[in-house]
Structure formats: structure tokens, C-alpha cells
Structure 1
Amino acid sequence: MDMNKVMAKLENIYLEKPHRVFSMYLNTDPSDPDQQGGEWRIHLKNGLNSFENYLEAEGDSEELRNYRSIKSKVQQYVKECELNLAKSIVIFATPDEKIWFAERFQMPVETVFYWEETAKIDQLKEMYQQFPKTGIVLTQKEAIKVIDSELGRLKDTKMYLLDLETEDWKEQTSQENEQEPTELGGSHMKPDDFQQRFEANRYRLYKTFASKLDKLAKDKKWDCIYLVGDKVEAQDLMNNMNKPVTDIVNKNMLDHEEKKVMEAVMA
């Protein structure tokens, strides 16, 4: 999903009565002090019911029917993802179903609901400006993990291991990722010998990977690149890249789940 295209499409919507565009930003952040008791459920119920009560009082049966069809879909979506919530839910929908955008994000929002002629994307734009298309690169000597993300959501993960005998960084398949490596980077060397040779050639080896990373950045159209790991290793990698690096995060997080890594980078 290209969020720039999504936002451009949403910006071009204009619907007149009895059709309208539904926009919802719902704060579901469990770390928010105001959400400790699951208050988002009350906010959701009240927000959805307020439009229904208004339309009932206004007496426009066709617009009320259009709204109720969307309300039902929103309730069903939230119910399906209730056990796997993030910090927010953002939904845009139209009665004709030409627009249905529903996503959970690891970014907080201010809870607000709209039923108007246009989609209200101001908060979505702010979220994108804060965390656009981003590459997060985790280094740990002979292993490098690359996380492709957008708006705090995981899009893809790639894992590379160095084969020191061929001096080639090989991407692991998903099946290989599930297995414990039996040898360091495909090498038959003893660990101490491997580390000694790696350190002696680290700069050149990271230079080799930097070209792969530049190509990834171009293909994925990253706006930001974060390097996470040992500061010296990250510096070696950055010095060999053509693409600009947004920041270096001096933390060892290669074995952390992607969600935790993205949260640490966004903090």
C-alpha cells in the first residue's frame, strides 16, 4: 500500500447528501493513562451513536441507512481486531464501498469522528510526516536485519548473513530464518577465528553490504533510514552508503521483535 496514493485518493472525495464520508481516529493506546480501563470502547460507542441519534432526529431515512451500513462495518472490524490492538485505529469509509480504509497503527491519535462531505485526513498526514516510508537496519557483526516500515507498520523483513569464505551477504529465506544456524555466516571457521577475520575486514565487508542497502532504499522509496546497533559498525555502514542516514541508534536489537524495534526508533 502506497500511503501517498491513499491520501491523494482520500483528498479527492466529495459526497453530497444523502451520502457522506465517515472518518474515524480512535485512540486505543494501552500506555495512555486515560485508556487504562479500556475507555476506547466507550468513546467508540458514543462516537458512533452520536451520528445515528442526530440522523434519526433529522428524519433523513436514506442518509441514516447509509450511515448504519458503515457503522456496522466499523463495529465488525473493531471486534475482529480487538485482541490485537495497537495504539490507534484509523478508518475512512463511504456508503458505496468505493472507499474502505481500516488500519491499526503503532502511533497515537486524538479520538475524533466525522460524517461529512470530505475525508478528514489531517491527523493521517501528521502521522505520515512523523514516520514516512522508513528502512530500519539492525547490525550485529556478521548478521544484518532490514525492516521495511511505513506509518509505524511492518511491511517486510529481510535477514542477511555473511559468508566470510565468499565475502558475500546472503539473504535468508523464511524457512532458513526458522532454523538455528549451525555455523557462523556459513563459515567452517572456529568462532574466535571468524570474529578476528571479520573485525580485520569489517569496513570492506560493510562496504559490500552498503551497495545492497542503497538499492533497497531506492526500490522501497525510503524517506528515512535508521541504523541500529554497535555505533562503530553502524558508522562503517553509513560511511559507505550513498543514501543519507537519518540517525544511528546505539542499541543491540537484532533479536528483538520488529514491533519493539520500531517503537524504540520512533521514541
Structure 2
Amino acid sequence: MISKKDIQRFKKIISSVDKPVLSVYCNVNPADPDNFGRAWHGRLKNTLKSMDELKVNLKKGKTFYDELIVFIDQLIVGARTLALFAWVNDKNELEVEHFELQVELPVVDLVRGRVETHFGKPYVLPILYAFDEFYRVGVVHVYGSKWRFYEAFLNEIEEITETFAEITPDEWKEFNEYAQIIESGVLEERTFNDKLKFKDRQKARIQTFSHKLYVRLAQMVEKSVLDLGLDRLILMGNDWEVKLFENHLNRHIRELIIGYVSNPLDTENPSSKDVLERIAPVLREAEEREEMQLIADAQSPKGVCGLQNVLEAIQMARLQVLILPWDLHAKVYKCKDEMIFANPEEAQELDPSYEEVELKKEVFLLAAQYATRIEFVDGAMKEKLYNELQGIAGIVRW
């Protein structure tokens, strides 16, 4: 899984490159029929072979293209999208950075096996958007004899074994005894006499111990959430255990919780695949709720829609949030002073030498320049954006 350190390292490297960079986005999804038998490999090679910029000779006599193909030939991918960046360093040697992503990226059109390539200024904005805007999610598996903590990001998941590492097997065993007492003695029978069972010395001791352990576990989860920079939290397990633990979390951490899921099939040794599949619907529902709210806000008095209105608002620094379809295809007209217009007539008045450009190539820098947050919508909300808001919308600051 891609860590925050990986992202920070990549940003540092790519921002320091002062040579032209080859940027490549390729659909490598093995589940896609168009990629049967690694068909993506042939398409990618053919695309790169047609680029004159890659015919330059490097230090060892091979061309940029030849050395890059050696690198690509060694890739064994099981992801959906390959993002690759290559350039020639000061020693006339090839350098390559690449990521294998289990998600599709916004504004990158890879349908029907298409390969998207750019040569020149690094075209890293789609992947940086994914790195910065996709949520990092923590998953706490609340289970009597052994708790687990996971980090999920970009449709990948990894167990963070350090979270509960200091809890000993004996402590887990004693804690599990307490969980069994609660489940069988209070929650099922629900009688006053059953509650009295807790008054004997043995069970009172376990209860006191377990309360302290709950507090420790909550502190451990809070530490992992902060250390990993997580944006959301999902609790997994029996409903009563999950809710009991939730009460021990501080308010800030509780506010990150977006849902609850049931125990995995194998509670003792759950597979990462099972955990990921269980949390996927919760993540989709949370995203859909947020997208619905964005569209509702864009349709309110504080919203604007249509390419011309949105471009005017953003370049007047009025736009707080820019709402775009996942498959952005709009063309715009850019002048030498960097002003961007929705139609050529307006651009002509300011600069007769304006150029037609793809909005997806400009929109990230444009938004950053005016401190505007970008949000992409897909599925039903994307159709609503096209049908009711002219394909692009925003929420204004004032």
C-alpha cells in the first residue's frame, strides 16, 4: 500500500526534476477483457515507440525508449492503473518512478485500452489529486481475544500490527472472559439477577481490569489515527462490543466514524480481502452522501453552474469548491496572461494569440492559484451535474 512517506518522497523527487518528463497513465486492470494476456503491454509499447522524444541516446548507447521498455518488461502488475514518470538525469541516465493503483484516476481517460502520455512538464496532477484527496480510513476490528487495526487507502488495505502490539496474550485472554460475561450474562438474559453476577469478587476484578484495558485500547487507536493521518474510521465486530468501545473514544475520534460492519468470516485470522470487501459499501455510501450534499449546495443560492460562470467565479477568487465530473472533457481558451475563458470570443478580445486547451490540463493549477478545493463526482451525481448544472458547478465563498 502507498504510504504517506512514499507520497512525500515522490513529491520531493518530481518537483526537483528540471528536465522534460514522460508521464504515462495506462489501464492495466487484469479483469478488463481488453487486457487479456497482458494486452496493455503491447499497447503501451506501441504508444511509446511512436514518440520521437524517446529516441534520444542515453549513456550506455541505448535510447530512452529502449531502457524504458526494459523497465516495463519487468513489471508484473495486478492493479487497475499504472502511473509512470520517466526522465533523463544529469548523468544522461534514465530515472523512473511508478505507482500501481487499485483505482481509476479522475480526468484520465483510459477507456477502451487507451494510454495517456505527456512529454514535457510532469503531468502529475491526477495522481497527486488521488494522493491528497482520497480518504485514508482506519478499521478497528473489535474482537474479544484479539483486536486488529487496519489502514485502507486507494482500495488497498494493510494491517497495522503496531497499534495493539503491547497488549499481551494473557491480557487478551482475561479481556475476552469479560466480553463473554457481558454477552451471556447481561445482553441476552437482561435481568437484574444476571447483573448481580458482576458483584462477586472474581467478576468485579475482571470488570475493573477490562475497563482499564478499554481505555488503553482507545488511546492506542487514537494514536494510530493521528500518526497515520487518517480521515475516517470504521468499527468492525459485534454491535454491542463495537458500541461499548466507541464510548471510550474521545469526541474527535468518534466524529471520524462513518459506519459499522459485522465480523469477518474468520474472526481469529481475517483476510485483508474479506475486510476490504466488508468496508467497501460503507465507503461508497459515505462518498455518495458527500456528493449529494455538494450537488444540493451547488443548486442552492450559494451555487454557480455552467463553464462561463464557474470560470469567472474562480478567477475572481469567489469560488470555495469546484465540482467536476470524473470524466472532464471541456475545452477552454487560454491567454498569455494565464486568464482562461469559456468561449473564444472573450479570449480574442484580450489576446488574439489565445490557445485552445483542455480544461483538465489547467484546472488543478487554476484551483490551487485561487485556493479553491476540487471535488469530483461520479455515477448518479455525475449525471445530475451534467443534466441539471451544465456539467460543471461550484460553491461560492461570498
| TM-score, normalising length: structure 2 | 0.49
Q: Is the CA contact (8 Å cut-off) linking 1:105 and 1:151 kept in structure 2? A: yes
Q: Is the CA contact (8 Å cut-off) linking 1:10 and 1:119 kept in structure 2? A: no
The reply to whether residue 249 of structure 1 matches residue 242 of structure 2 is no
**1:37 & 1:114 partners in 2: Cα distance?**
19
Q: Is the CA contact (8 Å cut-off) linking 2:81 and 2:102 kept in structure 1? A: yes
Secondary structure of 1:147's counterpart equals strand
Q: Is the CA contact (8 Å cut-off) linking 1:143 and 1:159 kept in structure 2? A: no
**2:138 & 2:13 partners in 1: Cα distance?**
26
Of residues 57, 64, 73, the one that matches 1:62 is: 57
> What letter is aligned with 1:245?
L
Higher relative contact order (CA 8 A, sep 6+): 1
Residue 173 of structure 2 corresponds to: 186
After TM superposition, where is structure 1 displaced by more than 6 Å over at least 4 residues in a row?
191-194
Q: Is the CA contact (8 Å cut-off) linking 2:231 and 2:256 kept in structure 1? A: no
Cα distance change, pair 249–121 in 1 and its aligned pair in 2 (3 A): farther
Cα distance change, pair 8–139 in 1 and its aligned pair in 2 (3 A): same
Q: Is the CA contact (8 Å cut-off) linking 1:134 and 1:223 kept in structure 2? A: yes
Cα distance change, pair 198–159 in 1 and its aligned pair in 2 (3 A): farther
Cα distance change, pair 99–6 in 1 and its aligned pair in 2 (3 A): farther
Of residues 76, 80, 86, the one that matches 1:87 is: 80
5+ residue gaps, structure 1, are 162-167, 173-182
Cα distance change, pair 232–49 in 1 and its aligned pair in 2 (3 A): same
**Pairwise CA RMSD:** 3.8
Residue 8 of structure 1 corresponds to: 11
1:107-149: CA deviations, max 9, x gaps?
Answer: 2345333241232223323433564433221122342111134
**2:35 & 2:54 partners in 1: Cα distance?**
33
Secondary structure of 1:22's counterpart equals strand
5+ residue gaps, structure 2, are 187-206, 282-398
The reply to whether residue 216 of structure 1 matches residue 213 of structure 2 is no
Q: Is the CA contact (8 Å cut-off) linking 1:203 and 1:237 kept in structure 2? A: no
> What letter is aligned with 1:86?
A
1:201-224: CA deviations, max 9, x gaps?
Answer: 577653331111111222222233
Report percent identity of matched pairs: 16
The reply to whether residue 232 of structure 1 matches residue 228 of structure 2 is no
Cα distance change, pair 212–184 in 1 and its aligned pair in 2 (3 A): closer
Residue 42 of structure 1 corresponds to: 39
Secondary structure of 1:12's counterpart equals helix
Question: How far did residue 193 of structure 1 move?
Answer: 7.7
| TM-score, normalising length: structure 1 | 0.68
Secondary structure of 1:62's counterpart equals coil
Q: Is the CA contact (8 Å cut-off) linking 2:24 and 2:83 kept in structure 1? A: yes
Residue 262 of structure 1 corresponds to: 276
